[in-house]
Amino acid sequence: MPEEPGFPPLHEYVLAHRCSTCGAQPGQPCDAPQKKAEIDGRNAVRDQVGRPPLETDSLHLMHAARIDAGSRHQDRDVVAAPWPEDREAGRRYDTLDQP
Ligand SMILES: [Zn+2]
């Protein structure tokens, strides 16, 4: 999904949700040792052939259910906000800071 003006990036939405897969609390990264091992393994191979490690998108270490929850939350906020051309520059239209 492209980034929307006036909204935080998707990974902030995802982090704001509790993970139903591993139980990570809001603000904490997912406990995903297999995903982490896969990325570490790939980078170890790259290191052996003299290539730099791949940049890891922070979403790659999150569980799919949590990404879905964050994505739905972002979708709701985007739908509830004014059209992009009616938004004020620099203003945030998300509901992440609200309880
Ligand atoms: Zn998780």
- What is the 49 CA–ligand 1 centroid distance (Å)? 32
- The Cα 27–Cα 68 span in angstroms is 16
Token duo for residue 29: 């990264």
- pTM here is 0.79
pLDDT in tens, the chain (99 residues): 456 788 999 999 999 999 999 999 999 999 999 988 999 999 999 999 999 998 888 898 999 999 999 999 999 999 999 998 999 998 999 999 754
Let me know if residue 92 belongs to a domain: no
Backbone angles phi, psi at 37, to 5 degrees: -65, -35
Let me know if residue 99 belongs to a domain: no
Let me know if residue 56 belongs to a domain: yes
| Predicted pLDDT of residue 99 | 45
Let me know if residue 57 belongs to a domain: yes
Burial of 12 (0-12, 13-18, 19+ CB in 10 A): middle
**Near ion ligand 1, which residues have CB within 5 Å?**
19, 21-22, 24, 30, 63
Let me know if residue 91 belongs to a domain: no
For residue 40, what are the domain limits?
10-86
Let me know if residue 98 belongs to a domain: no
- What is the 23 CA–ligand 1 centroid distance (Å)? 6
Residue type, 18: R
Let me know if residue 64 belongs to a domain: yes
Let me know if residue 1 belongs to a domain: no
* Number of domains, the chain: 1
Backbone angles phi, psi at 48, to 5 degrees: -65, -30
